[in-house]
């Protein structure tokens, strides 16, 4: 581009007439050419300065983006843990509600509850202990296991038939019996 500027100068200004005054339009033209020459000289410095400013801005933007990403991640993690805790509480409530309803339904059907079974087991253990004491007082060997030998010992000791009988169930009504 410098070569074309030199050729433009040589066309506008002949070398044989160096003292001739230049018109104002030519001054403007020469000023523009001078500005362009300075821009070419300082252009690489300006470009380097702009590149450095761009790199600094990019680093600053990336740091800001990383910080906002970290904050968003923390908030989402906190929200996820809160939702997890809420779901555990809801599942526990649902489980408790289900257990209560099943227990009520079983109670309506006449099924003993876990507490009833524990009371019965405690009562059986108490009766077994009393039986063992009676057997020891009579001089009979005390059985080592609880359920099966107790029945055998009761038969040997001559307990009444009413003590040996099983509890009777209430009769079950069926539609087939009513039809017969």
Place of tokens 């680093």: 59
Mean pLDDT of 56-81: 92
pLDDT band for position 129 (cuts 50, 70, 90) = very high
Virtual torsion, Cα 113, 116, 118, 123, nearest 10 deg: -160
What pTM did the predictor assign? 0.33
Structure tokens at 42: 């300082």
pLDDT band for position 179 (cuts 50, 70, 90) = very low
pLDDT digits (tens, 9 = 90+) for 108-123: 998 888 888 999 999 9
CA atoms within 13 A on the CB side of 126: 6
- Domain annotation covers residue 165: no
- Domain annotation covers residue 94: no
Give the separation between CA 176 and CA 180, rounded to whole angstroms: 7
* Contact yes or no for 143/152 (Cβ under 8 A): yes
- Domain annotation covers residue 43: no
- Domain annotation covers residue 77: no
Q: What is the pLDDT of residue 13?
A: 53
Q: What is the pLDDT of residue 170?
A: 47
pLDDT at 173 over 70: no
Indicate the number of domains in the chain: 1
- Domain annotation covers residue 16: no
Local structure of 87: helix, strand or coil: helix
pLDDT band for position 44 (cuts 50, 70, 90) = confident
- Domain annotation covers residue 93: no
Give the separation between CA 103 and CA 136, rounded to whole angstroms: 42
Element containing residue 9 per DSSP (H, E): helix 2-12
Higher pLDDT, 172 or 94: 94
* Contact yes or no for 135/142 (Cβ under 8 A): yes
pLDDT band for position 94 (cuts 50, 70, 90) = very high
Give the separation between CA 124 and CA 84, rounded to whole angstroms: 46
Range of the domain at 129: 114-140
- Domain annotation covers residue 119: yes
Give the separation between CA 6 and CA 33, rounded to whole angstroms: 10
Q: What is the pLDDT of residue 157?
A: 44
pLDDT at 59 over 70: yes
- Domain annotation covers residue 171: no
**Percent of the chain whose pLDDT exceeds 70:** 66
Structure tokens at 22: 């230049």
């Amino acid at each position: 581009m410098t070569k074309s500027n030199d050729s433009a100068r040589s066309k506008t200004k002949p070398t044989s007439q160096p003292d001739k005054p230049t018109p104002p339009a030519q001054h403007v033209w020469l000023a523009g050419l001078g500005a362009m020459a300075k821009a070419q000289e300082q252009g690489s410095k300006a470009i380097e300065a702009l590149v450095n400013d761009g790199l600094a801005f990019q680093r600053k933007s990336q740091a800001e983006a990383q910080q906002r990403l970290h904050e968003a991640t923390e908030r989402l993690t906190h929200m996820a843990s809160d939702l997890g805790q809420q779901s555990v509480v809801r599942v526990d409530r649902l489980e408790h509600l289900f257990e209560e309803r099943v227990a009520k339904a079983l109670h309506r059907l006449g099924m003993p509850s876990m507490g009833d079974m524990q009371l019965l087991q405690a009562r059986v253990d108490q009766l077994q202990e009393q039986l063992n004491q009676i057997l020891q007082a009579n001089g009979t060997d005390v059985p080592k296991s609880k359920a099966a030998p107790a029945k055998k010992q009761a038969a040997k000791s001559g307990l009444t038939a009413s003590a040996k009988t099983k509890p009777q169930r209430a009769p079950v009504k069926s539609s087939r019996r009513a039809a017969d």
